[in-house]
Amino acid sequence: MTQLQELRHAMARAGLDAVWISDPANVRAVSGFSSGKDGKVLVTQGGATLYTDARYTVQAAEESPLDAFIARPPATLEHAAPGLAGLRVGFEADHLTVAALEDLREHWPQAALVAVQGLVQSLRAVKSSAEVQAIRDAQALADQVFAEVRPLIVAGARELDIASEIELRLRRAGAQSAFDLIVASGPRGAMPHGVASDRVIQDGDLVTVDMGAQLRGYHSDMTRTVAVGTPGAEMARVYRAVLEAEEAAVRAVKPGVRTAELDCLARDILTGHGLGEAFAHSLGHGVGLEVHEAPSLRGTSDDVLQPGMIITIEPGAYLPGVGGVRIEDLVLVTEDGHEVLSVSPKEVL
């Protein structure tokens, strides 16, 4: 859980007296309440209240140390209004709908509403030891499931068969898939987010499996590209280039490094192999209560690595009509370098 004290310091730096938290992952981070989409949190310099409805009375009391006010809008907004008169109240511009903002304006006419972006997200980027453990556990489960399912990735199997085996095993272990499973074989590998289809895997295919577990609210994220039989020389060359870029970027992970530099390092290696244009996304992202969260490992990012961040390193190369490769590790930034949390073996081609 994000510390309220840290949030209050961040609010003060942003010139805010209060913040209305509506983004579900931020609600969970600040309150511990796991049904964030049906909750809101109001944090002031002197208090914090979780707002949810009567479906969650017991759950809110069990999960959250915050005072809970059980009601539905507009009663929730009316409850908060008297304490907000004359205050500068932040709202999450990345999440609040225009209609919800109109509601705030109507019910809090004496508050000055201020759009904020990334206030709680920036605090979530550095994980507590309990959060690191949750993500470690999620990744350990994903590695175990991948090891069980790897022998099933053979010619004649459908992508959907692989995906459903992974999902079933995650469910049986008390987790769930972190996102729609990506199983992209042969030419479908050219789609970075080619979710599993009914395509039948062929001999000689490369198959990209991008999977994660969601456990106790926290996510993992890992990609392996595996060979079925012997792939053609060109795709084997692409695979080796992506692996080289991935391993070089992982080696460079340590506190103080700008994430944009890591993206550039991997991109330069792929460019050297004539694959710069084929690397169609950023190098990676933070992982936690959401699969994609801060920091961003995009070439335009100003983020700098700090101990406690958990990030992905996932270069890829995608050749329309031919195929694709992505290799992704989940990496913890430590005090003096990094620890790779994903341990599933990578193909040697």
* Site for ligand L64QQQ4R, rule CB under 6 A: 179, 192-193, 210, 221, 223, 281-282, 285, 291-292, 314, 328
Angle, helix 159-172 to helix 129-149, in steps of 10 degrees: 130
In angstroms, the CA 56 to CA 60 distance is 6
Q: Which two tokens stand for residue 171?
A: 């469910």
CB closer to ligand L64QQQ4R out of 161 and 263: 263
For the CB of residue 330, give the shortest distance to ligand L64QQQ4R in the complex, in Å: 10
For the CB of residue 34, give the shortest distance to ligand L64QQQ4R in the complex, in Å: 20
337 sits in which H/E element = strand 337-340
In angstroms, the CA 110 to CA 251 distance is 53
CB closer to ligand L64QQQ4R out of 212 and 231: 212
CB closer to ligand L64QQQ4R out of 167 and 314: 314
CB closer to ligand L64QQQ4R out of 221 and 303: 221
For the CB of residue 72, give the shortest distance to ligand L64QQQ4R in the complex, in Å: 31
CB closer to ligand L64QQQ4R out of 265 and 291: 291
Nearest to residue 309, comparing CAs of 244, 251, 253? 253
What residue number has its CB nearest to ligand L64QQQ4R? 281
In angstroms, the CA 297 to CA 328 distance is 13
CB closer to ligand L64QQQ4R out of 31 and 301: 301
Nearest to residue 17, comparing CAs of 87, 107, 105? 87
CB closer to ligand L64QQQ4R out of 90 and 286: 286
CB closer to ligand L64QQQ4R out of 2 and 342: 342
Query: Where are the strands (E) in the chain, listed by range?
Result: 18-21, 39-44, 48-52, 67-70, 88-92, 112-116, 176-177, 182-185, 206-211, 213-215, 218-219, 222-227, 284-286, 293-297, 310-313, 316-319, 323-326, 329-334, 337-340
Contact 142, 212 (CB under 8 A): yes
Q: Which two tokens stand for residue 191?
A: 């789609």
In angstroms, the CA 269 to CA 249 distance is 10
In degrees rounded to 5, what are phi and psi of residue 256? 95, -15
Contact 235, 188 (CB under 8 A): no
For the CB of residue 328, give the shortest distance to ligand L64QQQ4R in the complex, in Å: 6
- Cα 169 to the chain's mean position, in Å? 21
Q: Is the dihedral of CA 247, 248, 251, 255 positive or negative?
A: negative
CB closer to ligand L64QQQ4R out of 92 and 314: 314
For the CB of residue 319, give the shortest distance to ligand L64QQQ4R in the complex, in Å: 16
For the CB of residue 41, give the shortest distance to ligand L64QQQ4R in the complex, in Å: 26
For the CB of residue 210, give the shortest distance to ligand L64QQQ4R in the complex, in Å: 5
For the CB of residue 178, give the shortest distance to ligand L64QQQ4R in the complex, in Å: 7
SS3 271: helix
For the CB of residue 314, give the shortest distance to ligand L64QQQ4R in the complex, in Å: 6
